[in-house]
Amino acid sequence: MQTGSVSHRIFTAASQCLVGGVTAGARANSLFATPFYAARAAGSRITDVDGNEYLDLHTSFGAALLGHGHPRIVAAIQDALAAGILCAMETETASIAAGKLVKIIPCAEKVRFTGTGTETTYAVIKLARAFTKRDVVIKFEGHFHGFNDYLQYNFWPPRGQGLPALYVESQGAPADIEKNIVVLPFNDTGALEKTLRARHAEIAAVIMEPVNFNSGGIRPRPDFLAAVRALTKQHGIVLIFDEILSGFRTGPGCMQAHLGVTPDLCTLGKALAAGMPLSAFAGRAEIMDHLSPLGKVSHSGTYLAHPTAIHACNAFLDEIARPDFWPDLLQRTDRLCAGLRQIIAQRGVKCWLSQTGARFCFLFGADREPTNYREMVDSRDSARTGKFFQSAMAAGVFTWAGYHHGISAAHTDADVDEILNRLDTCLKEIA
Ligand SMILES: Cc1ncc(COP(=O)(O)O)c(C=O)c1O
């Protein structure tokens, strides 16, 4: 943004009182002079404080699956406000929403609502430890599970670092918790078998993104996924699918239904309440019942199942149950991705576009789907990636220079055509 712009003025003032001028570390973006300051959003479009309108491909990191300000969601939140904002109380709406999740999500026999994804991954591994009476958790390189001390290893190590070494993503965690984590390469059955042969009696849980959207949409090979399920079952290890991001991308049953593999526990978030702050975890009753008040795993909080978010969740679950919801969203995303592949090829840009359901990733520098983080990062053309995202923003397509993008149910066919048109110009520029 130009000096003298509204964004620039806000950023100057914000830098005096907010750390780095932002409210969250990831909202500062080194590709741009200022953070993106949104003024308002409706459906598929966002307007910034300088009056520029963008077609949205960011969709609030995937939370805005219905688009921005969906009338059904707004009405549901208004109901919660009118009822008196029943914070820290039980409401029938929470039990109705949980009942709907139990019906549609394969692993969900019992549900507990939470706020952020980070606290949710924290809660599931705590529960898995209590259930198994073991301490060590296995995660995969490139998989992101929030800013959770126990799991903040090797999600995005720089090229040349990471496995076989442990890469710590943040300062501030006690050094001795490292003994409780094992990081393995994704899609490597041999590495998992070897670890379990030696250490199965210590392993409480294997946690994974069922599709690794946070590192470019890397899919599990079917044989790897089958081995993960069989080995965890064999050794009494809790298999956790972190579906904070992958949930509600392929259908109501989330990625576990799409892949045909049922974990013991899963997390849900982002789309779950259509942009309101709500996450959840769910799974086998035998494990979930270790939570308080039935069991001895403490879990509670003032804002858990906050009624504004719960009402939004309930309305979201009704909206995605409409018969035409999934065919419309998935066909439109397929059309966008087919169009993107076509213009990428026409402009001669080396870029692999990965897609699973309603989320996709641009992998500039790759000419095939990577099978793990290392392959992805080694092929990544960071300079071209950065230029593309700068050019997309200048062309009025709101993206994030991260790994995953998507459209919402509010995007129309005309929006898809317009996005293709604008991004074609960007690809031409960077070719
Ligand atoms: C797979 C996964 N787990 C956990 C999180 C953390 O969620 P939150 O940002 O709500 O803390 C994210 C966020 O991107 C995620 O993608």
Q: Is the pTM of this model over 0.95?
A: yes
How many Å lie between the centroid of ligand 1 and the Cα of residue 238? 20
Q: How many helices (H) and strands (E) does the chain have?
A: 13, 13
pLDDT for 26: 87
pLDDT for 401: 79
SS3 call for 372:
coil
Of 60, 145, 151, the one to substitute when testing ligand 1's pocket (max ligand atoms within 8 A of C-beta) is 145
| CB 242 less than 6 A from any atom of ligand 1 | yes
What's the longest Cα–Cα distance across the chain? 63
pLDDT for 402: 82
Please say whether the beta carbons of 93 and 99 come within 8 A. Answer: no
Cβ neighbours of residue 116 under 8 Å, at least 6 residues apart? 146, 269, 277, 279
Per DSSP, what are the bridge partners of residue 112?
A: 281
Q: The domain 71-319 is classified under which CATH number: 3.40.640.10, 3.20.20.80, 3.40.190.10, 3.30.420.40?
A: 3.40.640.10
Show the low-confidence residues of the chain (pLDDT under 50): none
Burial class (CB in 10 A: 0-12, 13-18, 19+), 383: exposed
Cβ neighbours of residue 19 under 8 Å, at least 6 residues apart? none
Burial class (CB in 10 A: 0-12, 13-18, 19+), 133: exposed
Of 113, 270, 403, the one to substitute when testing ligand 1's pocket (max ligand atoms within 8 A of C-beta) is 270
Cβ neighbours of residue 84 under 8 Å, at least 6 residues apart? none
Side chain identity at residue 293, one-letter code: P
- Euclidean distance between CA atoms 143 and 155, whole angstroms: 5
How many Å lie between the centroid of ligand 1 and the Cα of residue 278? 11
Helix (H) or strand (E) holding 409: none
| CB 120 less than 6 A from any atom of ligand 1 | no
Please say whether the beta carbons of 207 and 145 come within 8 A. Answer: yes
3-state helix, strand, coil in the chain (%, to 5): 45, 15, 40
Phi, psi for 374 (deg, rounded to 5) = -55, -50
| CB 145 less than 6 A from any atom of ligand 1 | yes
- Euclidean distance between CA atoms 58 and 422, whole angstroms: 15
Phi, psi for 243 (deg, rounded to 5) = -105, 25
For the record, the structure tokens of 180 come out as: 């409780």
Whose alpha carbon is nearest atom 9 of ligand 1?
Answer: 117
Closest C-alpha among 221, 288, 210 to residue 245: 210
pLDDT for 4: 86
How many Å lie between the centroid of ligand 1 and the Cα of residue 332? 25
pLDDT for 400: 80
Q: Which ligand 1 atom is nearest residue 246's CA?
A: 1
SS3 call for 292:
coil
- The label of the residue with tokens 């045909």 reads 260
| CB 119 less than 6 A from any atom of ligand 1 | no
pLDDT for 1: 59
